[in-house]
Amino acid sequence: MSQDLGDALAEVEAIFETQLLSDFPAVNELCRHVERYRGKRLRPTLVLLSGLAASGADRERGLSHRHRVLGAVVEMIHMATLVHDDVLDEADVRRRGATVNRLRGNETAVMLGDYLISNAFHLCSSLDDPGINLELGSVTNTVCEGELLQLHHRDDLSLDEATCIEIVRRKTAALVAGACRLGGRLAGADAERERALAAFGEATGIAFQIQDDLLDLAGDAEVVGKTLGRDLEKGKLTLPSVLHLASSGPERREAMLDAIARRDADALRRELAEHGGVEIARTRAAAFIFEAKEHLAMLPESPARDLLASLAEAVIHRNH
């Protein structure tokens, strides 16, 4: 199984690289830089496993070439969001290397992100299935709305939990959910299984983002391998802080608001670590993973379904 998966992921990678090939050496050089960003390959893995899990034991039917193409598509969209996010966050480091914006300036990073988005849609169109294109477009619309909503709430100290979850659901979880949903659809999943996979992906995606936010607040930059503390610097209140503010008394609230106002990452980190904020957020993320695994019960038992459950667990136990 994991051999199969490894082979399939290698094919995803080959499709990804081939799609981005340009007539111009300067463009190819930029794309090679982006390939360095690729890490966990969570989204293509979810496409492949969802395909296998949707079709139960019938492994051959589950994993088609179309799954590999779709895996490359969602990874390309993800890379585009990383490149544009780094521009938004003025981040210098990603995966232990300089970001595109740091090396080549914001202009090139904006355009490279556009090139990735455009190529993702182009590659998706090669699947020759308008329904998949329509779903992908709907997912990326949702992702952009989430990012715009987050920008709209910058420096909003009264951001509430529901809005915060809505931002996360859109900017991060929508693409993870789309990867699972379409992975299932390409394997011929019926509507019920497709919905279960999408719900699994959404809950997993929300937990993933909470863990990301925790790492940005309280992680070790050496281990995480990217610029940390950007959320605070950019006035982004994320779920750990929002939950802590909502559950604290006046004294702790004041200490938090003071740390946020002073953009004091160390004080914020201490406050969250010592007064339960980190724990609340971890518990919330674990609850989303519990929910995610419940949705998997709609699918037939299979090694792929077990792997999906393990992958969801790993999302909240990672330190990078």
Chain residues binding a second copy by CB under 8 A are: 22-24, 26-27, 30, 80, 84, 87-88, 104, 106-108, 110-115, 117-119, 121-130, 133-134, 136-138, 140-141, 143-145, 147-149, 151-152
Shortest Å distance, C-beta 299 to a second copy: 28
Question: Quick one: 96 or 152, whose CB is closer to a second copy?
Answer: 152
Shortest Å distance, C-beta 230 to a second copy: 12
Question: Quick one: 137 or 300, whose CB is closer to a second copy?
Answer: 137
Q: How far is it, in rounded angstroms, from Cα 190 to Cα 184?
A: 8
Shortest Å distance, C-beta 105 to a second copy: 8
Question: Cβ contacts of residue 291 below 8 Å, gap of 6+?
Answer: 203
Question: Quick one: 216 or 271, whose CB is closer to a second copy?
Answer: 216
Shortest Å distance, C-beta 122 to a second copy: 3
Shortest Å distance, C-beta 150 to a second copy: 9
Shortest Å distance, C-beta 256 to a second copy: 24
Residue 51 to residues 56, 65, 277: CA-CA distances in angstroms? Answer: 9, 11, 37
Question: Quick one: 124 or 215, whose CB is closer to a second copy?
Answer: 124
Question: Quick one: 104 or 318, whose CB is closer to a second copy?
Answer: 104
Question: Quick one: 98 or 110, whose CB is closer to a second copy?
Answer: 110
Question: Quick one: 166 or 264, whose CB is closer to a second copy?
Answer: 166
Shortest Å distance, C-beta 53 to a second copy: 26
